[in-house]
A and B are shown apart, each in its own frame.
Chain A
Amino acid sequence: MTLTINNKKIKFKSGQTILEVATANGFAIPTLCYHSDLKVQANCRLCVVEIEGHDHLETACSTLALEGMKIITDSPRIREARRLNLELIFSEHEEKCVDCLRRFDCDLLKYAREYQANISRFTDRKKKRKTYCFSKAVEIDGGQCIDCKACLEACQTVQKINYLEIRGSGVDQEIVPTEDRDRACIYCGQCTLYCPAASAQEQSAVAAVEAALADKQKIVIAQFAPSLSISLREEFSSLNSENCEGKIKSALKQLGFDYVFDTGFGTDIASMLAAEELLKRLKDKQAVFPLITSSCPAWISYVEFYHPELLPHLSTIRSPHIQSAGMIKTYWAKKNNLNPRNIVLVSIGPCTAEKHESIRPELFVNGRPLLDQVLTIRELVFLIKKNRLDFSKLPKNDSADLFNGSGAAVIYGTPGGIMESVLHTATALSGAQKKNKISNNRLEFKTVRGLTGFKEAVVNLQGKRWRVGVVNGIANIEYVLPHLKKYHYLEVRSCPDACVGGGGQVIPTTKEIKKKRMAELYRIGKKRSIRWASENKAMLAYYNWVKEHKLEKKLLYTKFKRI
């Protein structure tokens, strides 16, 4: 099929929208409410184009391309409509650019410049609106919301949590947390991943981190998730693939962090403990099955609120970044003669729920949180851009390699990554390494009932066959719950595509981009000098130290309770 765009003949496939055809052929059309992974909303009216024979403009994102259509994507008439719609959008959006996390990549400002929109033609109508805060993790700033409904789609359709609602009509319309007492936010941050207006976003810890960095009395330490290197490379072209982890370490040093750690170390501890826990349960005739992973903090919030009856199924092992935090503030601090009270520990990762996790009292050690601040990857990007760090000029830093994680810790960020890592370690621990294929091959998962968000496999451990499964995205849990009894071990990840699609990931995050991130993580995972958790000697040494000092309960395990 063919049509013309700006007088150029173009082939397309039936079912494509004008926006898809135009984008695929290099015609740029501005969009705000559109996201390739979400249902088309067509409410920002920015992508308007002319179609011959139509008496008004049409939105490219929502109009199907048809045979013979004659489309114009740029003209004075179009520019005028885009300018006006932008001015109206800005009248709903209070600019807080000075410390806005989107400042360096703001589509709103980019389009305002491109279409010469007067962003203050109309008074900011929503200035007095509330900001809704969800724990320490996520917020919706009513004064900035442009009513695009992307967050609603994320919360309702992608996650099926239905915590966000739209209330009122016309100019009274507002995105609000529900008043339904039977629903709760799980802090997954999926809503923040799609918001074009910095309204649904993580509660920023940037100011607190900057204050700590400026405080000469404090030792400020960063620990960052291994998946960071992939995401930062998307942001900074000067960060090439071969040396990026070292360069990220240098960047953090330049920002003023005194020490930098790899959260992957904590991941290895978690894998090790999880493997032990699994083997123990498999031997125990009375054990509760399935055992379910607990390293995704949004999943924990979900179980606590929606399905407390599943609490006995949850693994009691602390999540990876809490594990490494425990190591840094006790074992490492002691070895280096540092007072943990002087340490400000900042964890950087792709997650908003970790912000909430960091203030869970049951994870405190000696009455204080292990993690003092949690930054999303976006917040780190903001810091780097604000300080104008140039990766091409930064040295490759190899220090602190002592506490690195293994390759298995790298793939932890992908759906199925926990399963793979834990099963491998369990196989190694049960001494069957050579006979078992897991050590060399990826697990052979198959999809169940055509669900893309759930996969299962059968594995051999201790001479028996066990059924395991991976839930990829919290929305899929409802299909699995009725069949729980069939499984022995389940991995549950709240965000679609796990941490590579985490609520704190860089923007844009799309299905396509996530696929690339996953492939890259597997690639660099293989290149790590330590491949599997069970081979991580530094980690094993720490584990022995904890056991010697009988600190297991305090540092390695946790308890879940009904809320």
Chain B
Amino acid sequence: MPKKLRKKNKRRNILELITEAGLVGRGGASFPVAKKWKLVKEALKTRKVAYIVVNGAEGEPGVEKDAYILKNYPEEVINGVYLANQFLGNQKIKKIYFFLNHSYWEKYLVQLQKVLSQRKYQSLAKKIIFTAKSKDLLYISGEETALLNYLEGRKIEPRLKPPYPTEQGLFNAPTLVNNVETFHDVSLVGRGKFDDKRFYSINGAVRQRGVFRLPATLTIEDVLRQTDNIPDFPFFVQVGGEAAGEVLNSDQLERPIEDAGAITVYDLEHTDKNKLLSHWLNFFAAQSCGNCVTCREGTYRLAELVKQKNHDQKVFTDLLTNLAESSFCALGRSLPFTIKSYYINILKKKI
């Protein structure tokens, strides 16, 4: 970007810049970032206090972007939070919560604090509270409202919406919840360095595991190719996380990645199909928060069902469909997505 334009950018409102860049939440729901910021700002017209929450829960297995970003770009993340704090009004933001995954919390805390000791971030540093997702915290604690419940010391389960967190979030105050990657991108946008790339986590039976930053428009195949990860054996993939991601066969890779940027590659011939199925079902049963009967009982019954030798396939399908139809939140609705795509695309069975 020419210097002149960069200068001009600086003077422009961060909200306009984010809108222009078309930033969307990278947690999976793809909600426009600018819209969220605007909603909190609007709610603040009649309220005195608001909160910012940096969501680094990273509960989805197979997604390791947050760890990567915090390790390599801690300053960008803090700067993103700084911009949000400026935009919403330093006076009004009471506290900023950093919610991090337990597996890397200690590793990167020092780095983050070092960044915060810079002069620019003095006022920010005073308000930041670091908190870690402990090992036994549920998968669902990454969900916005469940996370808010956790921070308030309540039972970890999603809240009914409306009211949305932007209006009544933490302790009932307007709250901006964005994940680590979003704050990182915001910073780039603010500095005029945003290049419409995103982070991809690549896992499983590949040569080059890790996190890569590549254009957001790439197809699954492009990503695998550009990272030198196209297997030379029959394989299938799961896109968007190893729990809630869609399962696709090797002929279905011509599509862009919309959810959380993660690809896991499985060896088609050497993967134990029943084990994998049980693994998913057990994961969801163990991670269900327990709030609604459909998911609490449904995931448990599914996991129990496949333990039987010749289980009733109709009940199996019925329970899956019901999860998609009547679960309280996206956790319950995502299990059938995984399982059904696996049946249809890989096992080539009707469900």
Contact A88 B297 (CB under 8 A): yes
Contact A169 B292 (CB under 8 A): no
Flag B271-313 by CB within 8 Å of A: 1 or 0 each: 0000000000000011111111110111111000000000000
Contact A173 B293 (CB under 8 A): no
Contact A121 B326 (CB under 8 A): no
B181-216, CB < 8 A from A: none
The answer to whether A64 and B286 touch (CB under 8 A), given A43-B293, A85-B326, is: no
Contact B328 A173 (CB under 8 A): no
A171 within 8 Å of B (CB atoms): yes
Cα A479 to Cα B315 in complex, Å, equals 53
Flag A22-54 by CB within 8 Å of B: 1 or 0 each: 000000000000000000101111001000000
How many residues of B are in contact with the other chain, CB < 8 A?
33
Cα A125 to Cα B291 in complex, Å, equals 17
B310-343, CB < 8 A from A: 315, 318-319, 321-322, 324-328, 333
Q: How far in angstroms is the closest Cβ of chain B from A451?
A: 20
- CB-CB under 8 A from A121, the residues of chain B are 315
B1 within 8 Å of A (CB atoms): no
Flag B142-164 by CB within 8 Å of A: 1 or 0 each: 00000000000001110010100
- CB-CB under 8 A from A173, the residues of chain B are 290, 296
Flag A64-94 by CB within 8 Å of B: 1 or 0 each: 1000000000000100110011001101100
Flag B233-272 by CB within 8 Å of A: 1 or 0 each: 0000000000000000000000000000000000000000
Cα A65 to Cα B156 in complex, Å, equals 28
Contact A172 B290 (CB under 8 A): yes
A62 within 8 Å of B (CB atoms): yes
Residue ID in chain A nearest B303 by CB atoms: A171
- CB-CB under 8 A from A172, the residues of chain B are 290
Q: How far in angstroms is the closest Cβ of chain B from A374?
A: 34
The answer to whether A45 and B285 touch (CB under 8 A), given A92-B297, A171-B290, is: no
B138 within 8 Å of A (CB atoms): yes
A340-384, CB < 8 A from B: none
Contact B292 A171 (CB under 8 A): no
A-B pair count, CB < 8 Å, reads 94
The answer to whether A169 and B293 touch (CB under 8 A), given A45-B328, A84-B319, A91-B301, is: no
Cα A77 to Cα B326 in complex, Å, equals 11
How many residues of A are in contact with the other chain, CB < 8 A?
32
Contact A88 B287 (CB under 8 A): no
The answer to whether A88 and B326 touch (CB under 8 A), given A43-B293, A56-B333, is: no
- CB-CB under 8 A from B294, the residues of chain A are 45, 84-85, 88
- CB-CB under 8 A from A56, the residues of chain B are 324-327, 333
Contact B301 A170 (CB under 8 A): no
- CB-CB under 8 A from A44, the residues of chain B are 292-293
- CB-CB under 8 A from B300, the residues of chain A are 125, 170-171
Contact A85 B301 (CB under 8 A): no
Residue in A43, A59, A171 whose CB lies within 8 Å of B291? A43
Cα A169 to Cα B299 in complex, Å, equals 13
A57 within 8 Å of B (CB atoms): yes
- CB-CB under 8 A from B325, the residues of chain A are 48, 56-57, 77, 80-81
- CB-CB under 8 A from A497, the residues of chain B are none
A186 within 8 Å of B (CB atoms): no
- CB-CB under 8 A from A168, the residues of chain B are 290
Contact B326 A48 (CB under 8 A): yes
Flag A154-194 by CB within 8 Å of B: 1 or 0 each: 00000000000010111111000000000000000000000
Cα A56 to Cα B334 in complex, Å, equals 12
**B155, B285, B289, B297: residue with the most chain A Cβ atoms closer than 10 Å:** B297
Cα A173 to Cα B140 in complex, Å, equals 15
Contact B288 A88 (CB under 8 A): no
A122 within 8 Å of B (CB atoms): yes
Cα A170 to Cα B288 in complex, Å, equals 5
Cα A173 to Cα B324 in complex, Å, equals 22
- CB-CB under 8 A from B318, the residues of chain A are 80, 84
A519-554, CB < 8 A from B: none
Q: How far in angstroms is the closest Cβ of chain A from B293?
A: 5
A200 within 8 Å of B (CB atoms): no
Residue in A40, A81, A84, A147 whose CB lies within 8 Å of B296? A147
Cα A171 to Cα B327 in complex, Å, equals 15
Residue in B162, B286, B296, B301 whose CB lies within 8 Å of A122? B301
A146 within 8 Å of B (CB atoms): yes
Cα A166 to Cα B289 in complex, Å, equals 12
Residue ID in chain A nearest B319 by CB atoms: A84
Cα A37 to Cα B160 in complex, Å, equals 17
Residue ID in chain A nearest B157 by CB atoms: A169
Cα A547 to Cα B279 in complex, Å, equals 78
The answer to whether A171 and B315 touch (CB under 8 A), given A40-B160, A45-B292, A48-B326, is: no
Q: How far in angstroms is the closest Cβ of chain B from A402?
A: 54
Residue ID in chain B nearest A122 by CB atoms: B301
The answer to whether A62 and B326 touch (CB under 8 A), given A43-B291, A169-B289, is: no
Residue ID in chain A nearest B138 by CB atoms: A169
Cα A147 to Cα B155 in complex, Å, equals 14
Q: How far in angstroms is the closest Cβ of chain A from B328?
A: 6
Q: How far in angstroms is the closest Cβ of chain A from B324?
A: 6
Cα A550 to Cα B248 in complex, Å, equals 90
- CB-CB under 8 A from A170, the residues of chain B are 285-290, 296, 299-300
Q: How far in angstroms is the closest Cβ of chain A from B157?
A: 8
- CB-CB under 8 A from A91, the residues of chain B are 297, 301
Q: How far in angstroms is the closest Cβ of chain A from B287?
A: 7
Cα A466 to Cα B300 in complex, Å, equals 62
Residue in A81, A92, A146, A166 whose CB lies within 8 Å of B326? A81
- CB-CB under 8 A from B155, the residues of chain A are 166, 169
Q: How far in angstroms is the closest Cβ of chain A from B179?
A: 23
- CB-CB under 8 A from A171, the residues of chain B are 285, 288, 290, 296-297, 300
Q: How far in angstroms is the closest Cβ of chain A from B155?
A: 6
Residue ID in chain B nearest A165 by CB atoms: B155
Q: How far in angstroms is the closest Cβ of chain A from B81?
A: 30
B64-91, CB < 8 A from A: none
Flag A476-489 by CB within 8 Å of B: 1 or 0 each: 00000000000000
Q: How far in angstroms is the closest Cβ of chain A from B38?
A: 21
Residue in B156, B299, B328 whose CB lies within 8 Å of A43? B328
The answer to whether A88 and B328 touch (CB under 8 A), given A146-B293, A169-B290, A171-B285, is: no
Cα A269 to Cα B61 in complex, Å, equals 70
Top-6 shortest CB links A-B: A173-B290, A88-B297, A84-B322, A170-B288, A45-B326, A43-B292
A–B complex contacts, Cβ < 8 Å, 30 sampled: A43-B292, A43-B293, A43-B328, A45-B327, A56-B324, A56-B326, A56-B327, A56-B333, A57-B325, A57-B326, A62-B160, A80-B322, A81-B325, A81-B326, A84-B294, A88-B293, A92-B293, A92-B297, A122-B301, A125-B297, A146-B293, A169-B288, A169-B290, A170-B285, A170-B288, A170-B299, A170-B300, A171-B297, A172-B290, A173-B296
5 further interface pairs, Cβ-Cβ under 8 Å (given A48-B326, A122-B297): A56-B324, A80-B321, A81-B326, A92-B297, A171-B285
- Residues of A that sit less than 8 Å from B by CB: 40, 42-45, 48, 56-57, 59, 62, 64, 77, 80-81, 84-85, 88-89, 91-92, 121-122, 125, 146-147, 166, 168-173
